Amino acid sequence: MFVVSACVAADISNPNIVFILADDMGYGDVGYLNADCKFPTPNLDRIGSEGMIFTDAHSSSSLCTPSRYSILTGRYCWRTYLKSGVLWGANGAIIEEDRPTVASLLKNADFVVTYEGEEAFTALLESLEGGQGLNEVPNLVYLKDGKLHRNKRASILDMDSLAAPDYSGLDLGRYLDRPVRLPLMTSRGCYWGKCTYCSHHWTLGSGRLRVRSPEKLIEDITSFKERYGANSLYFTDESVHPPTIAAFAEKVVEQGLKIRWVGTLRFDDAVDRAFLERLRDSGCHALLFGLESLSEYVQQIIRKGIRLDRAQRIMEHCRELGIKVHLFIILGIPGERPEDMEANYRYLLENTHLYETVQLATFELMVGSPMFRHPERFGIKNVRTHAALGREAFTGPYSDVFPSRSTSSQNHVSV
Ligand code: SF4
């Protein structure tokens, strides 16, 4: 956003700062310093060739969250509760509200567009070019005269009113994924929307499911093919809507479109062999499933609406049809007993033929989820955000010997 405000608001005289952060790079990964480096780094090379070389730099941490914390606050990152790991999308804020940051130093020169951006961001650009006042821009949060303003919300967007994603500014030939795979979202919100640990379906401001029509999706993929020569897709929905994806698959087959695609699907009652066959025929070659736990007891806690015997059948169908399966499992769900965790490991070890890959994540308390809003119903006590823990480190009884124990990346709970 700093960059945008620099581009469009030429009359804003406050300084703009652009941070360029490259993860997982070492000294020898810059071409200017090492002719044998494995990745081309032309822009860094140019900076180097123009004489700007820093060989005595220091990093506050080798991980993303702590180093960002340091850069934004100017504080040593270990002065937070986060001594290892990183924050995830739905974690609470690690920086306390009243903590000075680079952004607060540059106040009055920055904007945040919340919720859905298409309409609101366009309105912001128009406003900065001399259109309506900032107070008329929907979804905008901004500082003016030292005060924070939050504008009213824009209406919830109809998915079919949106243009196809535009990837024309990207050098797709340089992506490692071959053939190049383009992301496309078929829906916003979640048609299930009941999982007690989840708040994803609210992140765009409305839990209401909105889908892009199969006709529009066909237009999108046709344009991807024409514009970028791409026929491989990743549906980035939290979970594709079964009737929509089935209708889309039908059209792909009818029109003889040759595509390949991957997406996340629920172990839904609507998913049977015929359904999966249709997806496979339309080019689906891998599906990702949030199974979360192999314990019926935990399934009741999380209200995922999954029947484990059906999940097993769906995975068997996928294997027969040549659709690869990726599973997501969450360990440490509040209420999980040792035998539930054991059930996960046992199942995963005994059924390796049913899935290609599995992701074992530790539970994180998502802000806004039912578990976050009603912790007492799930036996969750003592919820403390990173920000609160960080403050405690300096004011609490152990402030002078703040423990150096390692922490996970979630909001901390006792159960
Ligand atoms: S976890 Fe997935 S299926 Fe459950 S409510 Fe969230 S987005 Fe929907």
Does the pLDDT at position 160 exceed 90? Answer: yes
Does residue 205 share a domain with residue 143? no
pLDDT, average across residues 106-125: 83
State the Rg of the chain over Cα. 24
Does residue 121 share a domain with residue 74? no
Does residue 237 share a domain with residue 205? yes
Residue-level pLDDT at 37 = 87
Please check whether residue 341 lies inside any domain of the structure.
yes
Question: How many structural domains does the chain have?
Answer: 3
Ligand 1 surroundings by CB, under 6 angstroms: 190, 192-195, 198, 200-201, 238-239, 266, 290
Kind and range of the H or E element at 233?
A: strand 232-235
Identify which of 190, 197, 306 to mutate to test ligand 1's pocket (most ligand atoms within 8 A of the CB). Answer: 190
Single pTM value for the model: 0.73
Please check whether residue 363 lies inside any domain of the structure.
yes
CA–CA distance from 235 to each of 99, 170, 281 (Å)?
38, 19, 16
Residue-level pLDDT at 385 = 64
Identify which of 186, 188, 194, 195 to mutate to test ligand 1's pocket (most ligand atoms within 8 A of the CB). Answer: 195
Quote the mean pLDDT of the chain.
Answer: 84
Does residue 325 share a domain with residue 302? yes
> Whose C-alpha lies nearest to ligand 1, atom 6?
198
Please check whether residue 228 lies inside any domain of the structure.
yes
Q: pLDDT tens, 325-342?
A: 999 999 999 999 999 999
Please check whether residue 399 lies inside any domain of the structure.
no
Please check whether residue 412 lies inside any domain of the structure.
no
> Whose C-alpha lies nearest to ligand 1, atom 3?
192
Please check whether residue 393 lies inside any domain of the structure.
no
- Residue with the bigger pLDDT between 370 and 368: it is 370
SS3 253: helix
Are 185 and 240 in contact, with CB atoms under 8 Å apart? no
Are 315 and 325 in contact, with CB atoms under 8 Å apart? yes
Please check whether residue 129 lies inside any domain of the structure.
yes
Does residue 187 share a domain with residue 42? no
Does residue 239 share a domain with residue 195? yes
Does residue 101 share a domain with residue 203? no
Residue-level pLDDT at 9 = 41
Query: Containing domain of residue 68, as a range?
Result: 2-106
Does the pLDDT at position 283 exceed 70? Answer: yes
Interatomic CA distance for residues 93 and 97, integer angstroms: 9
CA 290 to chain centre: 15
Residue-level pLDDT at 295 = 97
Does residue 131 share a domain with residue 144? yes
- Residue with the bigger pLDDT between 355 and 94: it is 355
Does residue 182 share a domain with residue 122? no
Please check whether residue 90 lies inside any domain of the structure.
yes
pLDDT band for 388, please (50, 70, 90 cuts): low
CATH number at residue 232: 3.20.20.70
